[in-house]
Amino acid sequence: MTALSEDMAAALKRRIDELEQQLKSGTAETARLADEKRQALERQAATADILKVIAASPSDARPVFEAIASSSKRLLDGFSATVLQFIGDELHLVAYTPTSPEADRGLKASFPRRIADFPTFELVRGGETIQFPDSEANDVPQLNRDLARLRGFRSVLFTPLMNRGTPVGMISVTGAQPGAFDAEHVQLLQTFADQAVIAIENARLFNETRQALERQTATADILKVMAASPADVQPVFDAIAANANRLIGGFSTAVLRYVDGAAHLAAFTPTDPAGDRVLQASFPVPFAKFPAYQLVANGAAAQLPDTELEPAARNIARARGYRSMLFAPLMSEGQAIGVIIATRKATGAFSEHHVRLLQTFADQAAIAIKNVALFNATREALERQTATADILKVIAASPSDVTPVFQAISDSAKALIGGHSSAVTRVIDGMLHLAAFTTDNDGGNEDLLRSFPAPLSASGIHSRVATSGQFAFRTDMQSEPDLTVAMRELARTRGYRSILVVPMLRDGVAIGTIGVTRPEAGHFPDKAINLLKTFADQAVIAIENTRLFNEVQARTHELTESLEQQTATSEVLGVISRSAGDLAPVFEAMLSKAMQLCGASFGVLNTYDGTQFNSAATYGLPPAYDEFRRKAPLNYGPATAPARLLKGEPFVEIADLLESDAYRSGEPNRRALVDLGGARCLLAVPLLQDERVVGNVMIFRQENRRFSEKQITLLNQFAAQAVIAIENARLLSELRQRTENLTEALQQQTATADVLKVISRSAFDLQAVLDTLVESAARLCEAEMAAITRKTGNAYFRAGSYGFPTEFVEFVRTLPVRPDKRTITGRTLLGDKVVHVTDVLEDPDYFFEGQELSGNPRSFLGVPLLREGSTVGAIVLARRAVRPFSEKQIELVTSFADQAVIAIENVRLFDEVQARTKELAKSLDDLRAAQDRLIQTEKLASLGQLTAGIAHEIKNPLNFINNFAALSAELADEVNQVLAAVTTVTGDVRADIDELTGLLKDNLQKVVQHGKRADSIVKNMLLHSRGGSGEHGPADINALVEESLNLAYHGARAEKPQFDVTLQRDLDPEAGTAEMFPQEIARVLLNLISNGFYAVTKRGSEAGGGFEPTLSASTRDRGSHVEIRIRDNGIGIPPEVKEKMFNPFFTTKPAGEGTGLGLSISHDIIVKQHGGTLDIETEPGEFTEFTIRLPRKSIFSDKDRG
């Protein structure tokens, strides 16, 4: 039992030890897991903190960088951490954890620095995380080693900030002791790097959005200023300068305009009074002294990063207190019209964003300048037009007195030219009289009045202008040297310094003057001179109108003064154009617009026929008053507005109808208007046509409120449009009547044109022309039937008909028409007169056996076809009803008869011309063939004579070579025989002699062989060079091709012994013979083969080794033709050369190697001489193939053979 207990105790102890060991292991694992959990929580907390910072700082990444540096140092147990950002080509320190003051100062002093000078960038630029376990290791760059010693660390971990695959920065964590960072720390630092990239991207996007919003807001603000200040650009410039300075973060911004060769200060943002005064005193400045003018003249923005480097900008920059400048030009139609200059206190370049922003402001400034110019030009034009219209009104209202016109001109000239005073004079009996004047200063008026009338010879400016007929001005009435004391005194007392005077010219002679003055000295602008000339012209018109008033009353049209009036006028005119003569919608539209624009309650438009008013349109009438007008006639009493308009009043306005005499007297219409319609105020204008009242327009208000001058004018315009509508309706009615008359004539002309078209298109088809004629004549003349008869031989037959029954047409087809009185056609053929019978059944001479068969026509019209006074046919029209033809219809049928004669004559002439043309064409073809053969023979004869001469010259020495070579061979045999008898020659010597004589004999035999070959070539040359084209007759095609191949090949080898080419032959045994000039065809083959040799040689020289030059010749039996093909694998022929290769003297060979005649002559031989074809197929760089097709039977007779 004891032993067992000990065993159990031992086992129990072991178990206890195991449990204790497991407990210790579990405790360690629990501690490890708790530590990992703590680290994970710390990382999550750090990540959350960083995300909070990102959210709290969307526009600035620096707080995020600082949080990342702090968290990465803490969670990686680091000695220190830094965050670097790439900006441009520099590396900037954006966050770090401090270590010691001295180390921190050294760190900050190391940045920014160029990225190229920082070796670690090359290690991480691909996105890899790098670490130096020991900064003192030999492989660590010196710069990193120096930083480690400065900061006091021994190990470092770098990870890049990657944005879309591009490094934008770097995070580093250092350790105080040597050693590598574990994988978790590396992964954690990469997470921080990703968060840093997110912060950078968020800040960029936030800032871009904010900048875009700021730009849009600024643009909107400026556009608001533009809209609020359409006539003045200064507020826009002020707003642009302020907004540009604020958004760019500038020190100051100025807007300059270019005017008359100088830069002018238009707006600026103030800084300090002294600096502002310096800026203002610097302008205007000529372009020559303003470098910025040339700097941005090309339209692109420019910068000055440091004003101290530019002497021209240095002084004003120091006075104003800035160091850098940005220039953006104001461009209009490709020309610089100004510049915006933004400045900053710091040196350095402006960002691209700021450059674009300032250019946007510059564009807005240019738009503002153009808008203001357009607005002012429009306003000035409107003012001038208004003044012109006012003067024309005065002219129209004062036809017998020009004084009001002169006064109006004087007032308008003073107002529009910005004058101080004005005066109008007239030339009367050689004296200058004052006709009108106006002034802002009554002082000196007495002196002015006393100075007129003045003689034309006086020294005053008005007299001088009246005498010369040319305008004149004084720029300064106090300083010009030729002024008299009286002139200066008058100018001083009247208060002006400059004066402009223009003549009033009629037929080149001055009849008066107009002058304006200004209180300031200086030149008058051209537009002021032109405007005053316009007023002078109007004054002349007024004077002329006074004389011509009883003859002509000028109609004037006042200008529309507002867009609302223009729109209304346009809409009314649109209704007029669409009304098609219906006046009701026009009058309703006029009343509607008149009431709308004049603020009326209701209105009426009446027409007047000379005795009675009639209601043409009403609008908005109260029901009771409307019912009254419908029941009662429009009889207006003497005091009513319509009655007053009839008496000649231009318009009638009654401000209070209750107080009017007509109402008090009980006039029925006036009573109904007030009591039933509730009207209190009335405006009426007449409808005037040729100074005659044809109606009126009346509008009413239900309150006592007068109408303005503008509204009275507008109602007059509507009245004028009503008159236009009435006149348009009358003219439209006349036009419709005229159109109906012209329609008939147009139909006749169209039919005539159709007939002429058929004649022109069917010169040889007479039947189509005649059918068209009778159909057109019947249709246009309202005839049911028509027929045309023409002379054929000595008899007349019907050549065409329309509308007759088929049985009748068959009946008369071969029935000749006799010229007699029994039928209408016969009567017409008897003479040259028109035959018109209203009813043939009432005609005692009429008898036609086919009357019933023809449909029993009753009325007839017959017109003869006359050629040179002789009757060649007739056109007859018929109606079933008894109805005579009109004179117009008779004239129309007569015209158709003339056209029928023309068509018949055309066919006759056409047939004659066709026959003659065929004869001439055959003669021309024969002549051309003979001419071509003669030219070909002459060209080839010259070449043959030259060849024959050369061949004869070669043949003589060649005969000597052949003969002496044969004789030398015989002498070699004789030498052997002689030496055989000599016994003193040893065996070796004899063997040598035998060998030498044998070699000599073999060589002589080769000379003889090749001499015979050369003799054969010369004989062929002589054969081909015979005068003319040689004998014409059957020739063996294959033999001719074989002979040409051999001759060309040996000729090429003789010229260039190294020449080599593979010749391929595919000769059809069935090719047989063909009739030809063999020498000419051989000449063609030699030319084509020689060209092929040239092409393969050239390609061989270009291709180098590996190219095998080949030329093939083939023949084929093609029945009535024989075909020859010459193909080479040479350089081929480009398309542009192929088009011209058969032209005489065209060649692509170098000078001296070709005449350009070979292919041209070959083409003539094949095509013109033998009636064959010469075609080419080629591919550049691959091959060229010529195909000759020759007829087996000659196309020429023996007499044509050369």
- Write out pLDDT tens, residues 1161-1191: 888 889 988 889 999 999 998 999 999 999 9
Residues 575 and 723 in one domain: yes
Mean pLDDT score, 394-423:
74
pLDDT tens string 307-328: 988 888 888 888 888 999 999 9
**Lowest model confidence (mean pLDDT) among 200-204, 516-520, 609-613, 763-767:** 763-767
Residue 746 has pLDDT above 70, yes or no: no
Residue 470 tokens, joined: 């040319």
Q: What is the pLDDT of residues 1051-1067, one digit of tens each?
A: 888 778 888 899 999 99
Q: Give the model's pLDDT for residue 745.
A: 59
The backbone region for 397, taken as left when phi is positive above 0, alpha when psi lies in -120 to 50, beta otherwise, is alpha
Q: Which residues contact 1073 (CB under 8 A, 6 or more apart)?
A: 1034, 1035, 1036, 1037, 1192
Per-residue pLDDT tens over the stretch 964-977: 777 777 777 777 77
pLDDT at 460: 86
The beta strands (E) that lie in 621-676 are given as 652-654
* Mean pLDDT, residues 1144-1156 taken together: 70
Confidence at residue 339, expressed as pLDDT on a 0 to 100 scale: 94
Q: Please write the tens of the pLDDT for every residue from 773-795.
A: 888 888 888 899 999 998 888 88
**pTM assigned to the model:** 0.33
Residue 1128 has pLDDT above 90, yes or no: yes
Q: What is the pLDDT of residue 1173?
A: 94
Shared domain check, 786 and 721? no
Asked if the structure places residue 1068 within a domain, the reply is yes
Q: What pLDDT was estimated at residue 206?
A: 76
Is cis: bond before 805, omega within 30 of 0? no
Considering only residues 567 and 282, tell me which one the structure prediction assigns the higher pLDDT.
282
pLDDT, residue 1, reads: 41
Q: How would residue 596 be classed by pLDDT, with cut points 50, 70 and 90?
A: confident
Domain containing residue 608: 563-735
**Which pLDDT value is given to residue 556?**
37
Which is more confident, 201 or 1156? 201
Q: Are 171 and 193 in contact (CB under 8 A)?
A: yes
* pLDDT of 835: 92
- Quote the CA–CA distance of 1121 and 887 in Å, as a whole number: 72
> In this predicted structure, which of 123-137, 455-469, 912-926, 1010-1024 has the lowest mean pLDDT?
1010-1024
pLDDT at 554: 34
Strands, sheet with 302-304, edge to edge from the N-terminal-most edge strand: 285-286, 262-268, 252-259, 335-344, 324-332, 302-304
The pLDDT assigned to 1054 comes to: 75
Q: Are residues 191 and 96 in the same domain?
A: yes
Instruction: Give residues with Cβ within 8 angstroms of 198, minimum separation 6.
Output: 54
Residue bearing the bigger pLDDT, 844 or 219: 844
Tell which wins on pLDDT, 1066 or 734. Answer: 1066
Q: Are residues 793 and 874 in the same domain?
A: yes
What is the share, in percent, of the chain residues with pLDDT greater than 90?
19
> Which of 43-52, 96-105, 449-458, 903-912 has the lowest average pLDDT?
43-52
| Residue of 547 and 473 predicted with greater confidence | 473
Residue in this structure with the two tokens 């990102």, named with its chain if needed: 54
The contacts of residue 106 (CB under 8 Å, 6+ apart) are: 150, 151
Q: What is the pLDDT of residue 1038?
A: 94
Task: Evaluate if residue 672 carries a pLDDT over 70.
Answer: yes
pLDDT of res. 1088: 92
The per-residue pLDDT for 558 is 42
Which CATH number is 315's domain given?
3.30.450.40
Let me know whether 345 and 467 are in one domain.
Answer: no
Q: Strand runs (DSSP E) across 210-350, as ranges? A: 252-259, 262-268, 285-286, 302-304, 324-332, 335-344
Q: How many CB atoms lie within 10 A of CB 1034?
A: 14
| More reliable by pLDDT, 1111 or 613 | 1111
| 3-state DSSP assignment of residue 1059 | coil
Instruction: Answer yes or no: is 557 within a domain.
Output: no
Q: Of residues 590 and 400, which shows the higher confidence score?
A: 590
| Whole-number Cα distances in Å, 1019 to 1016, 1051, 1082 | 5, 13, 14
CA atoms of 171 and 1197, how far apart (whole Å): 105
Main-chain phi, psi angles of 80, to 5 degrees = -160, 165
The DSSP result for 970-1026, as a single string, is HHHHHHHHHHHT-SSS-HHHHHHHHHHHHHHHHHHHHHHHHHHHHHHHHHHHHHHTS
pLDDT digits (tens, 9 = 90+) for 368-397: 888 877 776 666 666 666 766 666 676 666
Confirm if 120 and 141 have CB atoms less than 8 A apart. Answer: yes
Q: Which range, 683-697, 729-743, 894-908, has the best average confidence (pLDDT)?
A: 683-697
Instruction: Say whether pLDDT at 553 is over 70.
Output: no
Helix ranges restricted to H, 266-351: 273-281, 291-295, 311-320
Residue 223 lies in a domain: no
Predicted confidence at residue 1178, as pLDDT, reads 93
Q: Given a cut of 70, is residue 725 above it in pLDDT?
A: yes
pLDDT score at 550? 43
* Judgement on whether residues 246 and 349 belong to the same structural domain of the protein: yes
H or E stretch at 866: strand 859-867
Name the percent of the chain in helix, strand, coil, to the closest 5: 55, 20, 25
Q: Which amino acid is at 502?
A: V
- For residues 372 and 403, membership in a common domain is answered with no
| Percent above pLDDT 70 for the chain | 82
75-129 pLDDT per residue, tens: 888 899 999 988 878 889 989 999 888 888 888 888 888 888 788 877 787 888 9
**Final residue before a domain boundary, out of 181, 209, 237:** 209
Given CA atoms 27, 28, 30, 31 in this order, what sign does their dihedral have?
Answer: positive
Inside any domain, residue 219: no
Do 666 and 517 lie in one domain? The reply is no
- Buried b / exposed e across 516-531, counting CB within 10 Å, b at 16+? bbbeeeeebeeebbeb
**One domain, residues 353 and 474:** no
Cβ-Cβ contacts under 8 Å for 857 (sequence gap 6 or more): 784, 785, 840, 878, 879, 880
CA distance 82 to 98: 9
Which backbone phi and psi does 261 adopt, to 5 degrees? 75, 15
844's torsion region: left (phi>0), alpha (psi -120 to 50) or beta? Answer: alpha
Confidence at 518, pLDDT banded by 50, 70, 90: confident
**Across-strand partners of 1169?**
none
Q: Choose the final residue of a domain: 991, 1026, 1061.
A: 1026
Check residue 166 and give its pLDDT: 87
Do 931 and 945 fall within a single domain?
yes
| Alpha helix segments (H runs only) across 427-504 | 445-450, 461-468, 485-494
* In 150-249, beta strands by DSSP E: 155-163, 166-175
Contacting residues for 536 by C-beta, under 8 A, at least 6 apart: 502, 503, 504, 505, 512, 513, 514
Lowest-confidence segment of 13-22, 420-429, 488-497, 735-744 by average pLDDT: 735-744
Looking at the domain assignment, is residue 83 inside a domain?
yes
Express each pLDDT in 931-958 by its tens digit.
665 565 555 555 555 666 666 667 667 7
In the sheet with 652-654, reading across from the earlier edge strand, the strands are 613-619, 602-608, 692-701, 681-689, 652-654
Quick count: other Cβ atoms within 10 Å of Cβ 1076?
28
pLDDT-derived band at 557 (thresholds 50, 70, 90) equals: very low
What's the token pair of residue 1129?
Answer: 């694998």
Give the pLDDT band (50/70/90) at residue 341: very high
User: How far apart are the C-alpha atoms of 203 and 62, rounded to whole Å?
Assistant: 10
Q: Cα 361–364–370 angle (5° rounding)? A: 145
Q: What is the dihedral of CA 735, 738, 739, 741, to 10 degrees?
A: 170
3-class secondary-structure state, position 168? strand
Residue 930's pLDDT is what?
Answer: 55
- Nearest-angstrom CA–CA distance, 412 and 385: 11
- Domain shared by 409 and 517, yes or no: yes
- If one counts the domains in the chain, the total is 7
In a domain, 8, yes or no: no
More confident of the two residues 1068 and 1009: 1068
> Please, what is the average pLDDT of the chain?
81
For residue 147, name the pLDDT band (cuts at 50, 70, 90): confident
Lowest mean pLDDT among 55-59, 495-499, 593-597: 55-59
Same domain, 878 and 785: yes
Confirm whether 10 is domain-assigned. Answer: no
**Beta strand 1110-1118 pairing with 1062-1066:** parallel
894 by Cβ neighbours in 10 Å (0-12 / 13-18 / 19+) ranks as middle
Looking at 1026, 1051, 1069, the residue that finishes a domain is: 1026
Measured CA to CA, the distance from residue 1153 to residue 312 in angstroms comes to 71
Model confidence pLDDT, tens digit, residues 1088-1098: 999 999 999 89
